Amino acid sequence: MFMLDPRLEADSLPLGTFGLCQVRLMNDCRWPWLLLVPMRADAVELHELAPADRSMLADEIALAAKALKAATGALKINTGALGNIVRQLHVHIVARNEGDPNWPGPVWGFGTRQPYTSQDAAALRERLAPHLFPMESKA
């Protein structure tokens, strides 16, 4: 049975689900930053997923990256799956722009997290929703 790692749950806000993944917003307003978490019990490494799940994950990463770029106008989208601290398989998709905190360096381990206000998180969710979940946005 799939269970979200408590650290991922504590550090991010739920946005919805795709066919395979939970879609979450990293709760750090310094960068628009999505997490995709495949809803597969005990998934740790990408190569451990079934071939169909690997393919679906690649499609969902592309969808999330396009949505993030469209909603934010980011110059660059960074994608990574490290898992050194949180072993549960998850993929980071981060919108980057020249001059953002630590540009062009990595976001991981840089400075102190700055959580979203509830209003700012809601505003970003609203901008992302039509791109992430177009069918729900039309309903």
pLDDT tens digits, one per residue of 41-70: 999 999 999 999 999 999 999 999 999 999
CA distance 39 to 89: 9
Interatomic CA distance for residues 17 and 138, integer angstroms: 16
Residue 137 in this model has a pLDDT that exceeds 80? no
pTM over 0.85, yes/no = yes
Q: Which residue intervals of the chain are DSSP H helices?
A: 6-11, 51-72, 118-132, 134-138
What is the C-alpha separation between 99 and 25, in angstroms, rounded? 21
CA distance 11 to 72: 21
Q: 35 burial class (0-12, 13-18, 19+ CB within 10 angstroms)?
A: buried
